Structure 1
Amino acid sequence: MRALIESIITSLVDHPEDIKITETEENAKMVYHLSVHPDDVGKVIGKNGRIAKAIRTVVYAAKTDSNKRVYLDIM
């Protein structure tokens, strides 16, 4: 899942070396925290949050463990 998120985000940003993805597991959910360079935040979020929503949709659809909920937090 981490590789999927990284491959999507890398193609969107100008500073791919500043991408940081951390994952935390809590009870029945996996939370992925995405951090990018301040100049790239707008590119990842997109106009009215459309790109962020599309990224979340792809990540949710690709989850492998059906018992765990997956969340993507973009910072």
Structure 2
Amino acid sequence: MIELIKTIVKPLVDHPDDVTVSMDEHAKKIIYKLSVNQQDMGKVIGKQGRVAKAIRTVVYTAASKSDKKVYLEISD
């Protein structure tokens, strides 16, 4: 799942080397934390959050077979 997130985000940003994804797993949920360069935050979030929503939709759909709830957090 981490590679999927990186594959989606890296072409969108100007600083692809700064894209990092970490995973925090709990009993009933998995939280993926996406971190990008401060200058690329607008590109990842998009107008009115449309790009971020699309990324989350793809990640949630890919993780739908999992028994745990999946979340994607975007941070700078």
Give TM-score scaled by structure 2 length.
0.94
4+ residue segments displaced more than 3 Å: none
SS at match of 2:39: helix
Matched residue, 2:66: 66
Name 1:51's counterpart in structure 2.
Answer: 51
Structure 2 gap segments, 5+ residues each: none
Shift of the alpha carbon at 1:66?
A: 2.7
Q: Which amino acid aligns with 1:22?
A: S
% identical aligned pairs: 55
In 1: Cα distance, 2:62 partner to 2:38 partner = 27
Structure 1 match to 2:31 = 31
Distance 2:28 2:67 in 1: 7
Aligned to 1:21: 21
